[in-house]
A = this chain, B = another copy of it.
């Protein structure tokens, strides 16, 4: 069982850099390099592209007015991505659903297996492969929660000069909910769908990944979490690879049933300027978490990833008031309290 602050992953993230992307006019059938081995890569790419389609379809169906704008891009050495953004719709102010496939090279110090394989023989740089889907959905109505989900698969090749070293692979991801106001039935519904997906595979998954989520989305300088959590896991490889691929697929397929019913219930609720201002303050916290702590964001900014895809997670609008403190016992205070003291929802 890996803890969230996992040293090797952080090292990789600090030292990898990737090529500049070029726009494409058409979606290719695959972003994989030709004739490459390992069907998990192909199956994972298919899964995230299907998930992108079905989530975008569900969002457009509820929004009615807004449409996703698509950008396709590729990198000369292989890999690429599809960014889809719906902006200023009827229900969502900003909804981004991105898939990407990245080929890169990491320094050998970051590669645990290579180090173990040859203490006296320093291997060269390690090629790696990463594919993922990443999405943030920010609705307009302050009673409608923001949703984030991300599922990713990572593989390293054995270094050329250490052929005996094992290839490594791992899965990561999660789905979490960030409301400005608590409707307990909504939060329970959301968490129960996450639990159901987890329980199909391992009864320990939900409690472990729920806690991991609370620990990960922590805004340390505020002493509070970004939202009301969900599930989060990283560097997961101590299970059968097919089982973990099925688990990631189940999680991605749970996004629509976990989220859309909540939006349908809350999207037209009447609200005041007071509710809107509080939502905007919580959006400010979202920005703080993503720019200061989120691994994917800080990694992307440092390595020269596609900036517009990385920062699509930021809300359309946000607000910072000096020394704002909600009145004790108010609805705003209840939300903040649940961010400071994470609760068991089911």
Q: By the criterion CB–CB under 8 Å, are A307 and B222 in contact?
A: yes
A226 on the B face (CB < 8 A) = no
Q: Mark A287-329, 1 if CB is under 8 A from B, else 0.
A: 1100110000010011010011011101111111111000000
Q: By the criterion CB–CB under 8 Å, are B222 and A322 in contact?
A: no
Q: By the criterion CB–CB under 8 Å, are B308 and A322 in contact?
A: yes
> Given known contacts A221-B301, A287-B287, A301-B292, is B319 in contact with A316 (CB within 8 Å)?
yes
Overall SS of chain A's interface: mixed
Select one of B298, B314, B322 contacting A87, CB under 8 A: B322
Q: Which residue of B lies closest to A300 (CB)?
A: B221
Select one of B69, B307, B315, B318 contacting A221, CB under 8 A: B307
Give the one of A298, A308, A310 with max B CB within 10 A: A308
A94 on the B face (CB < 8 A) = yes
- In whole Å, how far is A138's beta carbon from the nearest beta carbon of chain B? 10
Query: Count the A residues whose beta carbon is within 8 Å of the partner chain — how many?
Result: 34
Q: By the criterion CB–CB under 8 Å, are A322 and B280 in contact?
A: no
With a CB–CB cut-off of 8 A, which chain B residues contact A19?
A: none
- In whole Å, how far is A285's beta carbon from the nearest beta carbon of chain B? 11
A85 on the B face (CB < 8 A) = yes
Select one of B302, B312, B319, B323 contacting A322, CB under 8 A: B312
With a CB–CB cut-off of 8 A, which chain B residues contact A308?
A: 322-323
Q: Mark A76-93, 1 if CB is under 8 A from B, else 0.
A: 000000000101000000
With a CB–CB cut-off of 8 A, which chain B residues contact A320?
A: 94, 311, 314-316, 318
Q: Which residue of B lies closest to A297 (CB)?
A: B292
Q: By the criterion CB–CB under 8 Å, are B284 and A314 in contact?
A: yes
Q: By the criterion CB–CB under 8 Å, are B292 and A287 in contact?
A: no
With a CB–CB cut-off of 8 A, which chain B residues contact A318?
A: 287, 317-320
